[in-house]
Amino acid sequence: MLRFNAADIDNKYYYDGNDLGANIVGEDKDRTVFKTWSPLATGVYLNLYLDGEGDNRIETLPMEMLDKGVWYVELFRSCDGLFYTFSYEFEYMNNRLETIDIYAKACGINGNRGAVVDFDTTDPKGWDDVPKPKCANACQAIVYECHIRDITIDESSGICPEHRGKFLGLTHSRTRCGKSETCLDHLKELGITHVHLLPVADYATVDEAHPEKAQYNWGYDPKNYNCLEGSYSTDPADPKCRIREFKELVMTLHKNGIGVIMDVVYNHTYHTEDSSFEKAFPGYYHRKRRDGTFSNGSGCGNETASDHLMFRKYMIDSLKFWAEEYKVDGFRFDLMALHDIETVNIIRDELDKIDPGLLMYGEGWTGGESPMPADKLAYKWNSYRFGRVGLFNDNIRDSVKGGTFNPYDLGFISGNRNTSSILKRGIAGSVPHYQLYDASEACWAFEPTQAVNYAEAHDNHTLWDKLKISCSNHYTSADLIKMDRLAAAIIILSQGMPFIQLGQDFLRSKPDKTNSGSAPNEVHTYNGNSYNAPDFTNAIKWNKKNKYRCVFNYYKALIKLRKSSGLFRMANKGDVEQHLQFIDTGDANFIVWKLESEKECFVISLNPYPEERYFNLPWGIFYKRLDEFGFTDDEECSGYVRCAPLSATVFKRI
């Protein structure tokens, strides 16, 4: 094995060029330059192929070693449309290690060979004419998490069969299921500002060559970070097809005023010893334990080394590529706490140079123990040291519905009377507030823009399934719907950035099929980890939007309310301190707060009890009450007002 010190490698061989990979160059695009970085290799070779798979090699060319560990070869022709790999030799090995270029920006089927692409030929018509949506800060965003396959794969989506489960599925308009709009038109109707796409970069476990197989994955098994996933394209064998179709998706969403956030998974590689990184420079790109074994902070077999300068550079180059070539509007980082704080801050700086409005948020936890000191990693408890980056607010999540990892645990909406202090912290954006003294662990945000508030995401049970598991023995279905709506009001009206999972707005469920064999469509359990479950579990059944239209309308009204006033979207803690005030109801679990400026005032109450509750509105002032269609003008409220059981009530000063 190679023996080296990573710090010595960084000091001696760090390369700051922006030309690694395959690049078509020259005014006439008549040359192709290939570069790769492997400072301890004794030889590197370029392999050219006619296709992305099969026995069709054209030639193998030796590469020349330049300064800083860069290997180079230049061909005096455009290689647009050809495929390539690199082979590496090291002094301790008797064989060459052939692998796809880690910097490949396009690839063949199943991502085993890079593809040389002239990206100017991949732009759909009008690509440069569509402006990106503007987003001043994270509190202006309302994020909707989607999986490319889930949203369109079911027949009820109304999408043509050849585009179901594909990038192009989200480019269709005027699709319906009964009386309800679906897919793109659903996003527009709901009123969200950004779509967060579960990983669309090339991942390992779906065989793109056999789409007829029953295959599914969320995509957190990364293979090629700069290439798109082929199973979402109509022709995985054509590298330009997936590029063009993803650009069409982005362009369509932008035309409709919706931003696109990419879920990125730089914290680990799906393969470990066999990963392209390990073949390109064994031992450098992954963190190791003292005994030389791979550390496993991801829980997936390894973790990458963001603190090593050339992997840090790799992440930055990759993110800049996605932001500039595909015009995406932000990034969500899987297991972000595995990345060191310095890298996270540098990434934010680099994204700001492209567009300060690019969103950046991630998970402030790991999937296992890392050998890197915890005070150097982007854990949530270190949040003040990277305050320009958002973090998922697990405090508000678990206070609302109960502990995520115990499906029977209860939360504020379902009868737990011990979560109100944590919940109030979340309502105030998880920043310091003069009225809040306890639950200090939930006061972690540098600014409200750092708090990503949510009740459900792709991980774990959906909110609706958790309510059915934990509460159905004691409450009616009508009560559970009230709880769900109460949770929606908390998440959407709290300070911070609201985050909603696809279908949450019409009670999405993830059922498992029974294993009894006697009733194949009978449901008996709910899937809390559906990362590779079939469409039966994951696909959106759009008829549920018809069935639970009252829930959808309520989410829609809450989103409209949030967008109507800056009081729900305060971006700094000073404004929260000044304009948000909790009202004493005499009951810690009956939460009421006021949002007030010189121009307007809102009062919001949360009643988690199965009985009605009352409180006093500010004396002598008249308000109107919000229902699921907006504010009603036929009822003026003042003084002592009623709050229905298991409900949020919003009053606006007249």
Q: Which residues are catalytic?
A: 334, 363
| Closest among 142, 351, 354 to 257, alpha carbons compared | 142
Q: In the chain, count of helices (H) and strands (E)? A: 15, 31
> Angle, to 10 degrees, between the axis of helix 420-427 and the axis of helix 477-493?
40
Q: H/E element holding 324?
A: helix 309-325
Q: Are 396 and 410 a contacting pair, CB within 8 Å?
A: no
Rounded Cα gap, residues 632 and 624, in angstroms:
6
Rounded Cα gap, residues 530 and 435, in angstroms:
41
Classify 646 in phi/psi space as left (phi over 0), alpha (psi -120 to 50) or beta.
left
Rounded Cα gap, residues 491 and 513, in angstroms:
31
What is the total residue count of the chain? 654
Cβ-proximal residues to 237 (8 Å cutoff; 6+ apart), any chain: 51, 52, 108, 109, 209, 230
Q: Are 236 and 109 a contacting pair, CB within 8 Å?
A: yes
Neighbours of 33 (CB within 10 A): 16
In three-state secondary structure terms, 238 is coil
In three-state secondary structure terms, 441 is helix
| Closest among 616, 271, 316, 645 to 480, alpha carbons compared | 645
Tokens 């500002």 correspond to 193
| Closest among 538, 567, 540 to 219, alpha carbons compared | 538
How many Å from the N-terminal Cα to the C-terminal Cα in the chain? Answer: 74
